[in-house]
Structure 1
Amino acid sequence: MKKIIFTICFLLFIKNTEAQVSNYSSMSDLTEDKILRGGDIFVIDKLKNSKNIEATGNTYLSEKFKKGSIEFKDGKKYEAMLRLDIFNQTFEIKNNDGKITPISINENVEIYLDEQRYNMHNVMLGEKGDLAILKDIVVNEDLSLYFLPRKVLELPNERAIQAPSSGYSENKQKAKWKEAHLYLIKSNGNYIEVPKSHKKMSLLGIFNEKEYKLFRKQNKIDLKDEDDLIKLVNHFSK
């Protein structure tokens, strides 16, 4: 998974204001100066490569903007209309005037969307490591479950060619954005992709093999079902 991001970083201006941690600032207070905090957020000024590709679908987890919040480690919180661009690994803010601003975050910023927490993680899958935005599902000290929103560009296998009486025309099939979401288990500091089969899960060595086999049979665990994965992680976190 590659982050295709070209950023222009703004100099930051931090105001010393007295505010309680529990208070949210309104959307009208959400200015660029207030969003950009100590290098934790960068405004993206770029022509998105993903938008230049002729493809059906889109790169968003949900194309509709939803009410959410941006929260900083210093306790400051801002409400905003947000959506997640999976392909570019950025969030987009829709201001009151309709302006859309893409932002890139780091590990010091938490995004809440649909009452779910999203944060940047340094994920190592196989031999490749990268920063990825993950959604919290179950967060325990020793064992955690995360949702990795992901979309891939599915290219057409072939081009359909028609041959009318006068010459020919070529009907190009369009590429398509396809969901390819993953669940990750974090164990001993490592992020591990949840496989689709119980045999592969047993071979990962995350759980005691005999206990895992008994538990998943008794509870009819489906590794593609989020609720079942929550049961599994909570059971082995005891």
Structure 2
Amino acid sequence: MKKVKILLIVLCCACYAINAQNVNVDSRGKIISIKAVDTNIDTEGSKYINKNFTPITIAQFEDKIYNGRYNAFSGEMEVNLGDNKVLLLDNNTDYEITFSHSKKLYRTENFTNNKGIKKNGFLVVVHETNKSALLKEESITYHKKVDAASSYEKDIPARYIRNKDAYYIDYNNTITYISHRRKDLLKSFPNEASKLKSYIKKNKINLKEEDDLIKLVDYMSNLSK
């Protein structure tokens, strides 16, 4: 209840402060920044999954509609405040953001990525049961401009490129990165390794296919304590 009240205060304060310059709102000891919307036109591609702001709901306030978009380059959820300014939601706060048209659900989670780096950030809830879930991390990388090596070549402009999505399984309250390699997956779940190995082989599960990962999550849900 305390988090809900704080979130409401933050959103209200942000809207009130919309015309101020260099405004910061202090939320739960964290700084929520209000900044000008990026209008860089010299870079190809986009840092956003969907460039335009579209209607979203925040779980605590389902009766209210905001406009948001996900910045997959910085890993931040942006809420449009108008006047060319956006509110960056705090990744350390518990959020569930649903995009109204697509029903796509983002949730803040604590997880460790495939490089062993611990993160707080937004993951897409692809599929969920009462005991396990398949989560997806969307990311975009910035590539600097590359000048032509000779007059016979062309410059390669600066660009944003979307990376392949990374998948995670939330199982027994632990979020685990899903490798495309079966032996790595089995190492991640040693107590279930034997059963998982048999299930994957019998059902020809492809760890690179989202639909197959959904099947795997459903199977693991039945194994969960």
SS where residue 237 of structure 1 aligns?
Answer: helix
- Asked if the contact 2:80–2:86 (Cα under 8 Å) also holds between the matched residues in 1, the reply is yes
- Asked if the contact 1:12–1:39 (Cα under 8 Å) also holds between the matched residues in 2, the reply is no
The aligned residue for residue 93 of structure 2 is: 107
Deviations 1:153-194 (A, max 9, x none): 2457x6423348xxxxx8432243222221111234432211
CA distance in 2, matches of 1:12, 1:94: 15
The aligned residue for residue 49 of structure 2 is: 61
The aligned residue for residue 172 of structure 1 is: 155
Letter in 2 for 1:176: R
Matched ranges for 1:28-39 at <5 A? 32=15, 39=28
- Report how far residue 213 of structure 1 moved: 2.7
Deviations 1:89-123 (A, max 9, x none): 2223345x674423223433321112132121122
- Report how far residue 47 of structure 1 moved: 6.5
Matched ranges for 1:1-238 at <5 A? 14=9, 32=15, 39=28, 43-46=32-35, 55-72=43-60, 77-94=63-80, 99-105=84-90, 106-113=92-99, 114-125=102-113, 127-140=116-129, 142-154=131-143, 159-163=147-151, 171-180=154-163, 181-205=165-189, 208-238=192-222
Letter in 2 for 1:172: D
CA distance in 1, matches of 2:64, 2:220: 36
Which of structures 1 and 2 has the bigger CA Rg?
1
- Report how far residue 214 of structure 1 moved: 2.6
Q: For residues 12 and 57 of structure 1, do their structure 2 counterparts lie closer, same or farther at Cα, with a shift above 3 Å needed?
A: closer
User: What TM-score results when the alignment is normalised by the length of structure 1?
Assistant: 0.67
- Structure 2 unmatched ranges of 5 or more: 1-5, 17-24
User: What TM-score results when the alignment is normalised by the length of structure 2?
Assistant: 0.70
- Structure 1 unmatched ranges of 5 or more: 1-10, 15-28, 165-169
Letter in 1 for 2:197: K
- Asked if the contact 2:79–2:89 (Cα under 8 Å) also holds between the matched residues in 1, the reply is no
- Asked if the contact 1:145–1:230 (Cα under 8 Å) also holds between the matched residues in 2, the reply is yes
Letter in 2 for 1:186: D
- Identity level (%): 21
